[in-house]
A and B are shown apart, each in its own frame.
Chain A
Amino acid sequence: MSASLDLFETRYAALRRKRRTTTLLGAAIFVLLVLCAIFDTEFYPSKLLAGIPKIGEYFDKLFSVAPARGQPRVAVLAWDHLFGGIDEAQSVAYWFYRFGTYASLLWQTIQMAFVSTIMGATIGFALSFPAARNLGTPKLVRLATRRALEVARSVPQVVLAFILIWPFSIGPLAGILAIGIHTAGALGKLFSEINENADMRPADGIAAVGGGWLAVVRYGFVPQVLPNFVSYALLRFEINVRSSTIMGFVGAGGIGQEFRRVISFNIYEEVSAIAILIVVIVSVLDLTSERVRARFMAARTA
C-alpha cells in the first residue's frame, strides 16, 4: 500500500515540478518580452512621468478657451453664457462657431462610408460564391478568389488610401476606394462562410432540374443567404463610418482633414468640438443600425 502511495507521491512531485518549470519559463519569457518592448519604444517610467503633466495640460486646454489673445483661459462652456451669441466666449455658439463646415464634412464622411459599403458589399457578394467551398467551383478559381479577398482585407486601409491618392488625386474618391476594397475583402470572406453554412437542399433541387451554376446561385442560395448578408453589411457600415473619419488624415476626404489640421495647429477648442461631434455621430449611427438590424432579424424569424 505504502509503495503505491510513494509512487503516487513521486509522480505527483514530478508533475508539479514540471508544471512549475513551465510556468516559470513562461513568466520569464513574458518579462523578457516586456523589457524588450519597453527598451525598444523608450517607454521609460521617467519619460512617462515627465509626459503625464503635459498630457493633463493638453486635455485641460481642450476644454478651455481664451476669450481674447493674451487673456487667461476659461472653461469652454459656462452655464450663464451657454446660449450667448457667437461672439460670447463660453457659449455653445462660440465653441461650435464653425459648425457649418463640420456638418458638411461629416455629411461627406457618412456618404463615403455609405458608398464604400455598397461598393464593398457588391464586390464581396459577387466573389463570395466562387470563394465558397460548397458550390463546386473549380479549385483554382476558388483559391485565387480567396487569396485576393485575403490581400484586400489585410492591407491597412490608411496605407491603401495613401497609395490611391497618387492615381486618383487628393479627395474622397481615394478614401472610398480604399475602404471599399477593404470592405470587399472582409465581407467577401464572411459572405462565403454564410454560403458554406447554407442549406444545400434548394441548391440540389435547382441543379437536379438542370439549373446551371448561375441558376443555382440565384435561386438556390441568394434567397436564403441574403438576409444575413444585409445584416453583416449594416454592421460593416458602422465600422466604415469610423474608418472614414480618419481617411482625411492622409488627404482622402471627410472630416479627418479638418481634424488633423486643428490638432496640428493646436486649435484646442476646435479639437474637442470635432471629437465630440464624431463620437456623437458614430454612437447615433451605431444605435440606429443596431435597431434596423434587430428589426430586420425579427421580421425574418416572424
Chain B
Amino acid sequence: MSSIIRMDALTDADVAAARIRLPGAFADNRRVLRIVLWTAFVAYLAYLHWAFDFGRVLTGLPRLWVIVRLMVDWSGFLEWDHTAILTALVETLAMAFLGTLLAAVIALPLGFLGARNMTANRVIRFLFRRGFDACRGLDQLVWALVFVRAVGLGPIAGVLAIFIADTGVLAKLYSEAIETAENGQIDGVRATGAAPLAAIRYGVVPQVLPIMLSQALYQFESNTREATILGFVGAGGIGLRLSERIQINAWDQVAYIIVLILLTVVVIDTISARLRGRLIRAGGLKRT
C-alpha cells in the first residue's frame, strides 16, 4: 500500500482507471453550474431592462436637473402660504402622536394574548398573531385610503390608519417582549396567592414596561415620518400640501416643505432618543 502518489509516475492507464472509479472528481460540475447561473443572471438583467427600460434614466436626467434648479431658488419665500404649511405640519405631528398613543394602549392586552407564556391555547395565539400580521402587512397608506373611503377625508382617517397599522407592529413587539420576561418574578407573585391578573400586574408589567414604552416611542418616530405622506390620499397632514405643490410644479415650496419635514423628524428623533435613553436607564435601575 503506497501512500505517496507521485505525479510523474502516473500513467495514462492510472488516470483512465481513476476516471472510471471516481467520475465525480473529474467532471467539472461546478464550472458548468457557474456558467449556467451567470447566463441566467445576465438573461434576467436583459429581461429587466426590457421590462423597465433603464435608458429612460438618461433621457430624464436633464429634466431632473431643471427641477433641482427650480428647487433651490427660494426668491419667493415671503409670498408662500406659511400658515397653511406650518398648521399642516403640526397636524401631522398630532396625527402621529394620537395614532401611536391609541395603538400603544390597545396593543397592550393584545400583546399578552399573543405571547406564548401568557396564552396557553395555541389556536387563540395563532389567530391573534396572524391578526397582527394582517394589520401590519398592509402599508399605512393603504389603510389611510380605506379609512378615507369609510369615514371621509381628513385627519381622522390618518389617525385611524396609523392606529391600525401600528397596533399590529406594537402588539407583535409587545408579545415578544413579554415572552422574554423572567418567570421567577411571576412565580414569586403567584406564590403569595395572587390572582392571575395581579400576577401579570406585579410580575410581568414592571419587567416589560420600560421596553414597551421605548418601543412605542420608537414607533412614534417612525410614524411621524410615515404620517407626512398620508395626506397624499387625503388623510390629513402635510402630505396634502406637499402633493398639491408637486402637482402645480411649485418646486421651490416642495423643497421648503421637505426641508421642514426633515427638520421636524430630526427634532422628534432627538427628543425621543433622549426619553428612550432615560427609560432604559430607569428600567435597568429597577432590575438591579
Annotate B62-73 by CB proximity to A: 1 below 8 A, 0 otherwise: 011011000000
Does B246 belong to the interface (CB within 8 Å)? yes
CB distance from B173 to the nearest CB of A (A): 16
CB distance from B50 to the nearest CB of A (A): 11
Contacts of A47 in B (CB 8 A): 156
A34 engages B101 (CB within 8 Å): yes
Contact A263-B147, Cβ < 8 Å, known A169-B60, A173-B56: no
B233 engages A41 (CB within 8 Å): no
B182-228 residues at the A interface, CB under 8 angstroms: 225-226, 228
Does B97 belong to the interface (CB within 8 Å)? yes
B145 engages A263 (CB within 8 Å): yes
* Tally of chain A residues near chain B (CB < 8 A): 54
A167 engages B60 (CB within 8 Å): yes
A249 engages B265 (CB within 8 Å): no
Contact of A279 among B60, B138, B146 (CB under 8 A): B138
Does B8 belong to the interface (CB within 8 Å)? no
Contact A279-B147, Cβ < 8 Å, known A41-B98, A167-B64: no
A156 engages B54 (CB within 8 Å): no
Contact of B155 among A43, A111, A172, A176 (CB under 8 A): A43
A139-163 residues at the B interface, CB under 8 angstroms: 151, 154-156, 158-159, 162-163
Contacts of A159 in B (CB 8 A): 228-229, 242, 246, 258
Contacts of A263 in B (CB 8 A): 142, 145-146, 149
CB distance from B60 to the nearest CB of A (A): 4
B56 engages A250 (CB within 8 Å): no
Which residue of chain A is the closest to B93 with respect to CB atoms? A37
CB distance from A150 to the nearest CB of B (A): 9
B63 engages A264 (CB within 8 Å): no
A37 engages B246 (CB within 8 Å): no
B146 engages A173 (CB within 8 Å): no
B56 engages A168 (CB within 8 Å): yes
CB distance from A67 to the nearest CB of B (A): 23
Contacts of B67 in A (CB 8 A): 163, 166-167
Does A132 belong to the interface (CB within 8 Å)? no
Does B123 belong to the interface (CB within 8 Å)? no
Does A133 belong to the interface (CB within 8 Å)? no
Contacts of B90 in A (CB 8 A): 40
B228 engages A156 (CB within 8 Å): yes
Does A83 belong to the interface (CB within 8 Å)? no
CA distance A25 to B159 in the complex (A): 26
CB distance from A23 to the nearest CB of B (A): 12
Contacts of B229 in A (CB 8 A): 156, 158-159
Contacts of A279 in B (CB 8 A): 133-134, 137-138
Contacts of B52 in A (CB 8 A): 111-112, 115, 172-173, 176
Contact A242-B258, Cβ < 8 Å, known A34-B101, A41-B236, A111-B48: no
Which residue of chain B is the closest to A168 with respect to CB atoms? B60
CA distance A7 to B211 in the complex (A): 37
Does A246 belong to the interface (CB within 8 Å)? yes
A163 engages B137 (CB within 8 Å): no
A58 engages B142 (CB within 8 Å): no
A30-53 residues at the B interface, CB under 8 angstroms: 33-34, 36-38, 40-43, 47-48, 51
B146 engages A58 (CB within 8 Å): yes
Contact A54-B246, Cβ < 8 Å, known A37-B94, A249-B141: no
B126-162 residues at the A interface, CB under 8 angstroms: 133-134, 137-139, 141-142, 145-147, 149-152, 154-156, 158-160
CB distance from B79 to the nearest CB of A (A): 22
Does B112 belong to the interface (CB within 8 Å)? no
Contacts of B147 in A (CB 8 A): 55
B141 engages A173 (CB within 8 Å): no
CB distance from B204 to the nearest CB of A (A): 22
A260 engages B145 (CB within 8 Å): yes
A40 engages B141 (CB within 8 Å): no
Contact of A155 among B51, B61, B94, B258 (CB under 8 A): B258
**A interface residues, Cβ below 8 angstroms from B:** 33-34, 36-38, 40-43, 47-48, 51, 54-55, 57-58, 108, 111-112, 115, 151, 154-156, 158-159, 162-164, 166-169, 172-173, 176-177, 242-243, 245-246, 249-250, 259-260, 263-264, 266, 271, 275, 278-279, 282-283
**Inter-chain pairs besides A111-B52, A156-B226, A172-B51, 6 sampled, C-beta below 8 Å:** A34-B97, A40-B90, A51-B152, A111-B48, A169-B60, A177-B57
Nearest first, the 5 A-B pairs at minimum CB distance are A167-B63, A279-B137, A41-B155, A37-B94, A51-B151
Could you list some 7 contacts between A and B, CB below 8 A?
A: A37-B101, A38-B98, A41-B95, A42-B156, A55-B160, A166-B246, A249-B232
